[in-house]
Structures are given as C-alpha cells and as structure tokens.
Structure 1
Amino acid sequence: MSKIQFDKISSVTKNLELKAEEKLTDKLSCEMGTVLAVQVLDDKNVYNELELPTGRMSKIKKGDVIAVALGNRMALQGFVGNLPKTLKVDDVIHLLNFGGVAGVCVSANLKEVGEPMRVRVLGGVERKGKLLNINQACKFKPLTSLKKCAPLIITTGTSMDSGKTTVAVEITKTLTRMGMKLAGAKLTGVGAHRDTYKMSDYGVYEAVSFTDCGVASTANIDGQTMVGVAKGALDHLSKSNPDAIMIEFGDGLMGKYGVDAILCDPEIQKHVRFHIGCARDPIGAVGLAQECQRIGLPIDMMSGPVTDNQVGKDILKERLNILTYNAFKPDNQWLDLIIARWATEYKNAA
C-alpha cells in the first residue's frame, strides 16, 4: 500500500475532508463518486482551474497530483463525458469540470473550453482498507416522501448560463435584507460548490447541493433517484424552519440532469410559492413558460439576458403578460407578489 501527496484537492470531495497525504489502492471502481488520485498531463490556457474545498480557484499545471471523483457530464456548453467502463492504474481519463469530476470525454465545445485536460490515474484513495467514494460522507439521504418542507422559491432556465444563479442570489439578497430567513439548495448539475457558496455570500444561512447526498453529478440519473435526492435536501433544510428555500437547478428544463423529473413531482410542486424563469432570448422564454405551464408550475417572473433591455421585456409582456426582472438593473415590482403569498403562508401556519 503506497501513499500519495496531493498538490490540490477538488471541491467535489469536500465532505470527505481529504488530507494532503492519503493512502492509495490499485483496486479501482468505475462507480460514480469513486475518489481517485490523478496526475495532470497537460498545460491549458482555458478551463485550467480547479475549485478547492474552500471555494478558491487554483490554476492546474502539468504534473500536479490532484484528488478527483468519477462522474458524468452532459454540458450543452462545455464537456460531455461518461463514467469509464473499465479502469486501472495508468489509464488516461479527463477532467470534466472545475469541481473535480472526472470521466471519459466524448464531445466538447472546443472554441470555449479547448480540448479536455488529460489526467493519468495513479490509484484510488483508500481509508481503513476501503476505496473512498463521496457517498460515504453525506449530509442527508434520499427520501421517498417529504416529512417536512418549507415554502420554495425556484429558479429554472432554458439552459446552463441563462442567468439562474445571478437572479437567484439577487433575489436572495433582497429577501434576507428584508428579514426573511432563507436556506438554499442546488438540486441538479455537476459537482462543484461555487453556486452554493454564492448563495451563502448573499445571505442564506445554509446551502446544500446534490453532492451533499453523495452524488458527483446528476447527469443521466433516473428520475426517481433525482426526486429522492431533491426531497432529501428539502427535508434536511426544512428542519431548521426557514421562511423559504431558494432552489437553483443546474442546466435547463430539457437537459440531461433530472430537472424535469423534480419539477414534475406533485409533492414538490405543492410547496412551490414563487417560480422564476431564465432565458437568453424571447423564443426561449416563451418555450420555457409554455413547458412549465404544461407540467403544472407556471412561471411568475422571467429573468436572464432576455431582460437586458426594453425590447425583450416588451416582447415578454406582449406574449406572456408576465413580470420581468433584470439582476443588473433590479426593480421591486415582484415584491408585492412575494409579500402577498408569504402573508398567506404565515396566516395558514398560525
């Protein structure tokens, strides 16, 4: 049994609290969440940083030894990658995201992110004779039904990078400054902590993600499993009685990350009190609104780049007769709706 000295530890392994020196094993698994020691084989000029457990972004250089976890990625803009079918020491796989999720890349937006960074497998990380997996250090477990659930504010979008995080944290900032006690959850995506750290920066007292349920990536996971993870997160956060839980979904409604399965669940739907949609353009906004209406979760307010100037706002008003909100030029028209709905919530709870 050998030991390895890490140069960098990725944030997806955060809950395991890996040390700079850990034991290695050559008995590997292709299971999602398996923790590996790998050596970086390339220097890159783009997409060349790793998020550390602290949230700090650190440059990755050729020769660095880093701790990663296996997972899938199905990014519309970025890397597409799968779990390896077989795995042994010295195999070459790829770093799929800045949070430290690794797999076999099969497609990429080369102009934006370049070729995937190759990493050589040095071994699996072992403790007490057992190969580590991020599912061995969970904050909560999946649930088949909600025992308790606070009111939900949800942010959905047409795709990744449609403005979801930006609007979610601006709304969070406003509500917490008004005195509301908010928790936060990121329920879908690929393992990283940037968005939950942002939620904390803007006022939520606790934020969790699917990684806290031992899931490295929600890509290609079946709907029933995803709903269970979501309910586990909501139940966990609701135990401390927040006024609301701010929910963000990585990727869009039609992506491969389980967003639609969670949104279609009737038990989750009945706790949604405010729904924010995000889109880049008018046709995307209209399509998102129509699809959300179809599944039983109509959008209350539209945000994202489509609202960056008056043209988009006017089109949305004409086509959807819906509130609009731009995080870079915020207004407070939406607050009347929030106040009315939470007044009813508090009255019913009294």
Structure 2
Amino acid sequence: MKSIKKSIICKNIKNYHINESIIKTYQPMPGDVAIFEVLELCSLSAIQDKGGRNCHIFEGDRIMATFGNRYASNQFEGYVPVGYHEEYELIGKGGLVGIVKSMCSKLELRGATKLRLVGYATDEEGKVINTIYHHVQPTEFDPGKIRRHKTILSVGSSMDSGKTTSAAYLCRGLKAAGKKVAFIKLTGTVFNKDRMLAYDCGADIAVDFAEFGFPSTYLCSLKSLMDLYEALLGCVVKVDPDYVVIEIADGILQRETEMLIDHEAFKSTVDHVLFSSGDSLSALHGVAALRSKGMEPFALSGMINTRPLLVEEVNCKLELPLLNLEHLASPDIVHSFERKAVNHAIKSSMGMERHVLDVA
C-alpha cells in the first residue's frame, strides 16, 4: 500500500482500518474520515499535513481527509455528498472533501482537485471514525458562568474583509500593552493559518474549532456552536487571559455568523466589537446592521484601509475610529475600547436617570 498523507484535521487519528467494502453503501457525515486517491490536480495541489506543514500532493497519492461542508465566497461552496460518487473534490486545504456546488470565478478555469474514494477509516468495531470530539469530550455552554476575561469580537462584512488580520494585530497591541491575550477562531473551515498568525502576533494561546475535530462549522446548529464556544473558552482559560479575541468567519449575513450575533446568550459574553470591511458601503451598512442587533463597534478596520478614497468616504459618514494595522498593534489600542466602554456606561447611566425623572 502506498504511504498515506494525513491532513491536519486527521492528526488525532492513530489506529484505523481501511474498509473498502462500504464505499457504495455508507452515507458519510461531516467529520467522517476516509482515504482518497488523487485523480487530477486542479486548484489545490497541497494539503496541510498533521504537523501543519504545506504538503504537496500528486496524482496517484493517497490522502487521509474528512467529509464536510464549506462556505467560502472567494473559494468553494461544497457539501457532504448524498450517496456514492465516482469522483469527489478537495474543497479545503486542511483536509476537507465534498462535492462542489459553486465556486468563485477565479477558480473556474482550474476547478477543484479530483479524488477517488478508496475506503473509510474504521475502528476496531468496524465503525467509521469521525473526527468531531474524537479525542475529547464535548462541553455544554454555560450561560451563567462567571468569565474573568474581557471578550473582543472580530467580525467582518464578508470573507477576506480583513477581520483575521485585524484580530491578529489587535492581539499584538494588547500584548504590547502588557495584557495576557487569547485568540479563538470560532467558525470557518479547517486551516491553521489564521490562528498561527494571531499566535505569531503575540497571542499567548491561539485555538480554533479544529481543536475539537470540526473540519468546518458550516451548517452546524446553534447549540453545537455554543457548546464549541464553551469548549474553546475552556482551552484558553489556562493562560488566565485578560482579553479573549474571537473571530467568526465570513460576513454578518453568513448563516452561522448571523445566528451568533442574533443570539442573546452569545452577545452577553461579548464586551467589545471590531468590525472589518472592504469598502465604504459595506462599512456603513455593516455598522448599521450591528447596531440594529445591539452591538456597537468600538472601531472599524480591514481592507478598506488599503483604499484612501474609501476611507475618506467613511470618515465623512461615520463618527467611528477607522484603525489601520499600525493602530491596532499599538499598546494604545487598549484606550480605544476602554474609553468607548466608559462613554457607553455614562450614556446608559444618563438614560436611566432621564427615565427615572420622566416616571417621577
């Protein structure tokens, strides 16, 4: 048998058998582990291996990966297949396999790398191995738990709006200010680049959903996301952080992102919000959308900073700081949201006083 190249999402899969007899009868689920043969290299010619290294793949190679769903407006929209297919597609470099429904136009000429299902990875009892909570127990979200840290949510207008880079540089600024910082990527598709950027920027610890075996979070239930959130918080509390910076993927209209920012229990854990956008219109409407949900950003950031004309447009319309990476990485960043919090508390207090006077 050829050597099998193991993708990062399968790093905790140690002992397994390859069952070729069920490939046409078994219905895969997100997280199910299988062995695939590379048939045709297209847009993805490498996987991230179990050590996080960029591992080149070639036609004829065998890889260990998982089935899963993907939402990526600048990459692939793909799903766990229904029934058996002659060909499957590699839709995520971290080891995500499915069937592509749509893709960004920049990928259409090459398409997705084609795979053949060799067999499922099964355990001693013959059950197909699933990476989700494979090596750890799930944790239930506790809405009443006392949190010692402050939480900063990094959310954006869309994929590639700059929210990951903004969050990472924010970690750097907080660290420069002498704070203990943790980074969590709560939603997205398995690929450790984002959390490693935050770690390299100075986060004391950086984790994501793949820590618990999720190849992606697309189409997860709200309960599953909240339980995952609790589990990830449990990972980072060991460094006793002053701040936890949390990124949720894609844009505020994306399914899981919208579910979270509409959910009162999730919002109650968030102290500050940093919003990233790629252009002036998305900045204006994104801030308005967040405000309608009771979430007031302390600042704007993101790819919009690369276009001075759009920055000028936003500055004329919004009384909200627009921070570039240098601002975010400065130790003075702490004052930006601490001052915002104080001002908000003063306004809330004044509002309560006016209400009392009106009633009286």
TM-score, normalised with respect to structure 2:
0.84
- Change over 3 Å in CA distance of 1:119–1:110 after alignment to 2: farther
Check the 8 A contact 1:140/1:236 in 2, yes or no.
no
Structure 2 counterpart of 1:78, from 75, 79, 98: 75
1:325/1:331 contact within 8 Å kept: no
Of all paired residues, the percent bearing the same amino acid is: 22
- Matched with 2:335 is 336
Of stretches 101-110 and 35-44 in structure 1, the one that deviates more from structure 2 is 101-110
Give the one of 90, 95, 107 matched to 1:95: 90
Write the distance in 2 (CA, Å) between the matches of 1:139 and 1:262. 24
In 1, Cα distance between equivalents of 2:216 and 2:180: 28
Partner residue of 1:277? 275
Please state how far the C-alpha of 1:328 moved relative to its aligned partner: 6.2
Structure number, greater radius of gyration: 2
Aligned counterparts of 1:176 and 1:244: Cα–Cα separation in 2? 10
Cα distance change of structure 1 residues 139 and 326 upon mapping to structure 2, 3 Å threshold: farther
Cα–Cα, structure 1 residues 200 and 342, in superposed 2: closer, same or farther, change >3 Å? farther
Corresponding position of 2:312: 314
1:206-221 equivalence runs, <5 A? 206-221=205-220
Alpha-carbon offset, residue 309 of structure 1 = 4.1
Structure 2 letter corresponding to 1:100: G
Q: Distance in 2 between matches of 1:94 and 1:164?
A: 28
Residue identity opposite 2:138 in structure 1: K
Measured in 2, the distance between the counterparts of 1:186 and 1:216 equals 13
Structure 2 counterpart of 1:128, which letter? E
Shift of 1:105: 1.2
Contact 1:12/1:100 (<8 A) preserved: yes
TM-score (norm 1): 0.87
Distance 2:317 2:135 in 1: 44
* Cα distance between partner residues in 2 of 1:279 and 1:343: 25
Distance change (3 Å), C-alpha of 1:141 and 1:151: farther
Change in CA separation of 1:296 and 1:239 when aligned onto 2, cut-off 3 Å: farther
8 Å contact kept, 1:227–1:261 = no
Q: In the TM superposition, what are the counterparts of 1:290-309 in structure 2 within 5 Å? A: 290-309=288-307
- The one-character-per-residue Cα deviations of 1:120-141 (angstroms, maximum 9, x if unpaired) are 0111112323321102435562
Whether 2:35 is the aligned partner of 1:64: answer: no
Is 1:32 matched up with 2:30? Answer: yes
The aligned counterpart of 1:115 is 111
Partner of 1:204: 203
Does the Cα contact within 8 Å between 2:10 and 2:131 map onto a contact in 1?
yes
Counting only pairs closer than 5 Å after superposition, residues 154-303 of structure 1 correspond to structure 2 as 154-238=153-237, 240-256=239-255, 258-303=256-301
Matched, 1:326 2:314: no
> Residue 323 of structure 1 contacts residue 334 of structure 1 at CA under 8 Å; is this kept in 2?
no
Give the Å deviation of 1:231.
3.0
Q: Is the 8 A contact 1:186 1:249 kept in 2?
A: yes
Is residue 78–residue 91 contact of structure 2 (8 Å, CA) maintained in 1? Answer: yes
Q: Paired residue for 2:121?
A: 125
Cα displacement (A) at 1:157: 0.5
Q: Is the 8 A contact 1:93 1:120 kept in 2?
A: yes
* Residue type of the alignment partner of 1:214: G
**Could you say what the CA RMSD is over the residues aligned between the two structures, in angstroms?**
2.5
1:137 corresponds in structure 2 to 134
Rounded Cα–Cα distance in structure 1 between residues aligned with 2:224 and 2:341: 31
Residue 7 of structure 2 corresponds to residue 10 of structure 1: yes
Report the CA distance between 1:218 and its aligned residue: 1.3
Distance 2:335 2:327 in 1: 18
Task: Report if the CA contact (8 A) 2:9-2:213 is conserved.
Answer: no
CA contact (8 A) 1:281 1:306 kept: yes
Q: 5+ residue gaps in structure 2?
A: 344-360
Q: What is the alpha-carbon distance in structure 1 between the residues aligned to residue 136 and residue 151 of structure 2?
A: 20
Distance 1:339 1:138 in 2: 39
Structure 1 residue 237: Cα displacement: 2.5
- State the number of aligned residues: 334
Post-superposition CA distance 1:83-133 (Å, at most 9, x none): 111248xx4211111111111112122423631111101111123233211
